[in-house]
Amino acid sequence: MPQIFPKWANQAPVRLLGGLAVTAAIASVGIWYFFSPEYTDVGYQPVQPVPFSHLLHAGEMGLDCRYCHANVERSAVASVPPTKVCMNCHSLVARDRPSLAAIRSSVATDQGVRWVRVHKLPEYAYFDHSIHIGAGVGCSSCHGDIRSMEVVTQAEPLSMGWCLDCHRDPQPHLRPQDQIYNTTWKPSRDHAAFAAQLVEERQILPPEDCSACHR
């Protein structure tokens, strides 16, 4: 009796299963990368209602971060400045510039400007700016070189794994207190010795348990 199927058909189930396995592996890797914060969040650069330039204000003019983000050293949130802080300068400088219309309207109506938040953790995650600043973690460790940004861009993924990497080994991110707000600061050759001393002096032991961030 002649065979209905050719001999190669005997390998079809094996080849099919092998193809499905390869496809599943490729799909898993693709989902792991393309749906991760490293891909979806890093580079996020929303359009703001007012084109505020950190490159101009913090970079060229040298304004201290704390002039606008006044609560960063004593509060969980860094805070966004009220528009009256903007008008400390802009009541005299560029006060009629069209791009600042939203600032003038905010002051006139006593309604805050609707800034678009760039760095946002999930609601179920707790983060305290003051604790990190007090420990010696600089702004640029999380926010990048803000002073060089014409438009603020998310520089780090801010994912749970990324945070845990720092908690497990905080020393590379620690710096002298007078360099906390220097976004161009680079560690020196003896940074490891300095960081180790800082960890010992301040008893820096970042928690790694769930309740540290999920309260």
Q: pLDDT tens across 183-203, in order? A: 999 998 899 999 999 999 999
**Per the structure, how many domains does the chain have?**
2
Q: Which amino acid is at 192?
A: A
Q: Which amino acid is at 177?
A: Q
- What is the mean predicted confidence (pLDDT) over 108-134? 93
Does pLDDT of 32 surpass 60?
A: no
Average pLDDT, the chain: 89
In a domain, 186, yes or no: yes
Structural domain that includes position 22: 7-35
Does pLDDT of 4 surpass 90?
A: no
